[in-house]
Amino acid sequence: MSEPRQSFETVAGCKVNVRRAGKGEPLLFLHGAQGAPLWLPFMAALARRFEVIVPEHPGFGLSDTPDWLDNIADLAFFYLDFMAALGLERVNLVGASLGGWIAAEVAVRDQHPLKTLTLAAPSGIHVKGLQPADFFMWSREQAIRNLVADQELAEKMLSQPQSDGQIDLMLKNNFTTAKLAWQPRFYDPHLYKWLHRITVPTLILWGDSDRLMPPAYGPEFRKLIPGSKLLVFKNCGHLPHIEKTGEYVAAVTGFIEGARP
């Protein structure tokens, strides 16, 4: 697996940890609540075709926690500044879960820097009567078991011991996630009103066995974002990029290549 280049970039007064690999069109990946501490196989696979850029959000991982960070809108504006500061244009913006929510908030504000948008099991909206599970009530073990459909994979993940440093990062990531998403729980009550502003080609991905964000949220996003497509992975939980890496990479690559230039 190719080693990414790692650097710290300072944007809006905040030093963030950024990993990059590959050449081609820029693909900016926005991670979910558990952060992006490692260069994962799906990133390496995407880097064979794109310039993959994976920042750790302000407040996560090795990035700073800036005083200005209060809510999801702050991160949306941060990533608009981030793309400008790095000179990124025609960006393929790809978000997972909480990162999908951030990506949607970016796109409703300003989609000029974007070529395409991919949202995998994004949070960000609430549909009455469709209650997501309560992530904050899960222990680490429950979270791992509930986030993937394949329980053998869960066992494998659970069998890896957590180092002291990993515990510190987990507590930091959980803290920032609570700050962003505790109340209302993982959504912005105003986002749904403006998703119609998104006109860049948009792909929505969901696992059919997602036990955190109900798969029924997929069609809701598709209805709210004009012209968007929805693709559902079979026997897949909340993290298709990890659980169905091959299908995920093929879907994202095919979608971006098929998007009109």
Partner 1 sequence: MKFYCFHLMPYADLDLDYYKKYNSAWVTLPNSYYDPKKGHILYNRYLDELEYAEEVGFDGVCVNEHHSNAYGLMPIPGVMAGALARRTKRVKIAVLGRALPLINNPLTVAEEFAMIDVITAGRLVAGFVRGIGAEYHSWGVNPAESHDRFHEAHDLIVRGWTETGPFAFEGKYYHFNYVNVWPRPYQQPHPPIWIPSQGSRETIEWAVDPARKYTYLQTFSPVTALARYMQMYRDEAEKRGYTASPMQLGWAVPTYVADTDEEAYREAKPHVENFFNRFLRMPPEMLLPPGYLSLASMKGVMMAKGAMTGGEKTIDELMKVGMFMCGGVDTIVQKFEEYQKQIGFGYLLTALQFGTLPHDLTKKNMRIFGEKVIPRLRHLAEESSPKAKAV
Decide if 147 contacts 160 (C-beta within 8 A).
Answer: no
How far apart, in whole angstroms, are the C-alpha atoms of residue 174 and residue 156? 22
Decide if 235 contacts 210 (C-beta within 8 A).
Answer: no
Angle between helices 98-109 and 164-181 (to 10 degrees): 40
Could you say which of 9, 40, 136, 146 contacts partner 1 (CB under 8 A)? 136
Could you say which of 49, 109, 172, 211 contacts partner 1 (CB under 8 A)? 172
Could you say which of 20, 49, 179, 229 contacts partner 1 (CB under 8 A)? 179
Residue with tokens 């700073």: 64
Q: Which stretch binds partner 1 (CB under 8 A): 173-181, 199-207, 232-240, 246-254?
A: 173-181
As given in the structure block, the two tokens for residue 183 are 């109340």
The residue among 88, 77, 84, 94 whose CA lies nearest residue 30 is 94
- The β-bridge relationship of strands 5-11 and 202-207 is unpaired
The residue among 140, 103, 142 whose CA lies nearest residue 123 is 103
Could you say which of 38, 67, 128, 171 contacts partner 1 (CB under 8 A)? 171
Q: Which stretch binds partner 1 (CB under 8 A): 48-56, 124-132, 178-186, 190-198?
A: 178-186
Contact flag: residue 178 with partner 1 (CB under 8 A): yes
Q: Which stretch binds partner 1 (CB under 8 A): 19-27, 169-177, 206-214, 220-228?
A: 169-177
Binders in 52-81 for partner 1, by CB under 8 A? none
Q: In angstroms, what is the minimal distance from the CB of 182 to partner 1?
A: 4
| Interface residues toward partner 1, by CB under 8 A | 136-139, 167-168, 171-172, 174-179, 182-183, 185
